[in-house]
Amino acid sequence: MSESAEVGTAAGAGPTDTDWAAALAAVRGLPADARVQLICHVNPDGDALGTMLGFGLGLRRLGVRQLRATFPGPPVLPEPFRWLPGLELLVGQDDAYPEPDLVICFDVASESRLGDLADRLDKAGTALVLDHHASNTRFGDLHLVDPHAAATSVVAQELLDRLGVPLDAEIATCFYVALSTDTGSFRFEATTPAVHRLAARLLATGIRPGDISRRIFDTRPFGAVRLFGEVMLRARLEPAAAAGRGLVWTYATREDLARHDQPAYVLEALIDSVRCTAEADVSCVVKQVDAAEWAVSLRSKGAVDVSAVAVALGGGGHRFAAGFTGRGTVDEVVDRIRGELAGALLPG
């Protein structure tokens, strides 16, 4: 679930005045009967879902009536998110508007993260992209992309401010989920004074951070607890990898999931247990998707640019939190990662 995006100090300016003006005009200029389609990235995390639903609720407050939210892939929402405000906006990808007047993408760095919904970019009247990945490929018509933002919700909250939509507890709950997910509960480097000021505004609406955090981060079925135990036991430490900075990695198969009767999304939290390892800068979890297909999560404590590793292997992400889709066996996938690590060392 956790994207755990430690944004670092990515180069690249945020949105210009012209970008903000164009985005405002696109929303304010919508006719009364406009169809608006919200889309977040495949395998949505707290930032993707929270930002999309919070912004959707904001559009509702503005009077947008024909409004749907979706994400690519099977319409299965991870259990920890099944209480979020705004879920009534959510439809499966097959029920997304075929030709919306406006598409808004959330936390999506590139078209490939839109899966089967990528065709909406051409079919929509306008495609607006809200994001915070430095690697964003600017695949829409209008872009509000701020690589310095700790979460996409930071950009969305500013757009709602500029649209004059007041924060309420429902919107704030969604944005708090987004912000706390991508800052690792306000622990990562991206946790600036501005982040805490935004969080203060969210909390001032009366939301309960203890309840929210427990539901999102600290609750999992007993089967998942036992599954994590097994998967952690097979973790491997390679102190020599990444030019001596160290690599720790583990993997989980579909059979592991079946044995413990767990859905795939429970594995999203696994990287947070693996990356604790003191002896390794880089951590990695390889999660089986298909017979020879693996979803790979990479994290770094600061010595390695794991987004460079991920990009070299066909994926993307942030400097210290990235991922890609691996093919072949686990050993082949990890071998390819080892091969990229030394070349991705950061100076200093």
For 154, the token pair is 């930071």
96, 128, 322, 333: which one binds ligand AMP (CB under 6 A) = 322
Which tokens sit at 184? Answer: 């690792």
If contact means CB under 5 to 8 A according to the sort of partner, which of Mn ion, ligand AMP, none does residue 143 touch? none
- Rounded Cα distance between 302 and 348, Å, is 10
Q: Is 45 in the site for Mn ion (CB under 5 A)?
A: yes
Q: Give 13's contacts (C-beta < 8 A, 6+ positions apart).
A: none
Rounded-to-integer distance, Cα 227 and Cα 318, Å: 28
Considering only 323, 326, 336, 340, the residue that binds ligand AMP (CB under 6 A) is 323
Angle, vertex CA 267, rays to CA 234 and CA 147, nearest 5: 115
Residue with tokens 């929402």: 77
Say which entry of Mn ion, ligand AMP, none residue 317 contacts (CB below 5 to 8 A, set by partner kind): ligand AMP
Q: Under the criterion CB under 6 A, does residue 316 sit at the interface with ligand AMP?
A: yes
3-state secondary structure of 127: strand
- 8 A C-beta contact, residue 228 and residue 273: yes
Residue selected from 317, 336, 337, 344 as contacting ligand AMP according to rule CB under 6 A: 317
Among 175, 320, 324, 340, binds ligand AMP (CB under 6 A): 324
- Contact mark string toward ligand AMP, 270..299, x via CB under 6 A: ---------------------------x--
CA distance 115 to 297: 19
Task: Spell 1-26 as b/e; 16+ CB within 10 A means b.
Answer: bbbbbbbbebeeebbeeebbebbeeb
Q: How far is the CB of 67 from ligand AMP (least distance, A)?
A: 24
Instruction: Please report, as a single letter, which amino acid is at residue 93.
Output: Q
* 48 touches Mn ion (CB under 5 A): yes
Smallest distance, Å, CB 316 to ligand AMP? 4
Identify residues 92-151 at the interface with ligand AMP (CB under 6 A). 109, 113
Residue 322 interacts, among ligand AMP, Mn ion, none and using kind-specific CB cut-offs from 5 to 8 Å, with ligand AMP
Q: Which window, 22-30, 96-104, 163-171, 310-318, contacts ligand AMP (CB under 6 A)?
A: 310-318
Which tokens go with 286? 């390889």
User: Residue 267 corresponds to which tokens in the numbers above?
Assistant: 């594995």
326 near ligand AMP (CB under 6 A): no
Q: Which is nearer to ligand AMP, 27 or 271 (CB)?
A: 271
Residues that bind ligand AMP (CB under 6 A): 3, 5, 109, 113, 297, 315-318, 321-325
